[in-house]
Amino acid sequence: MVYDVTNRQSFDNIIKWLTEMRAHCDSDVFVPMLIGNKSDLRHLRAITVDEAKQFAGKNMHAYI
């Protein structure tokens, strides 16, 4: 799952994307990964690294 670190909406959509992927992918091949794109635009960042880590810790493992 790739989200734009400068766009809150893209980060907020991750739960929906995970749910859709889980519904349409074989669980043997679905291994979720969270990737923050545009991390070089630090001055425009809308999602902190800590927020993304916390989200991943709570949500990404639930789909494995």
CATH dotted code for 2-63: 3.40.50.300
Confidence band, pLDDT 50/70/90 cuts, at residue 63? very low
Three-state secondary structure call for residue 47: coil
Query: Which is higher by pLDDT, 62 or 52?
Result: 52
Give residue-wise pLDDT tens across range 4-57.
Answer: 999 999 999 999 998 888 888 877 777 788 999 999 999 999 999 999 999 998
| Single-letter code of the amino acid located at 45 | R
- What integer pLDDT is reported at residue 21 of this predicted model? 86
* Bridge partner list, 4: 37
What are the extents of the domains in the chain?
Answer: 2-63
- Output the pTM of the full model: 0.79
- What integer pLDDT is reported at residue 9 of this predicted model? 97
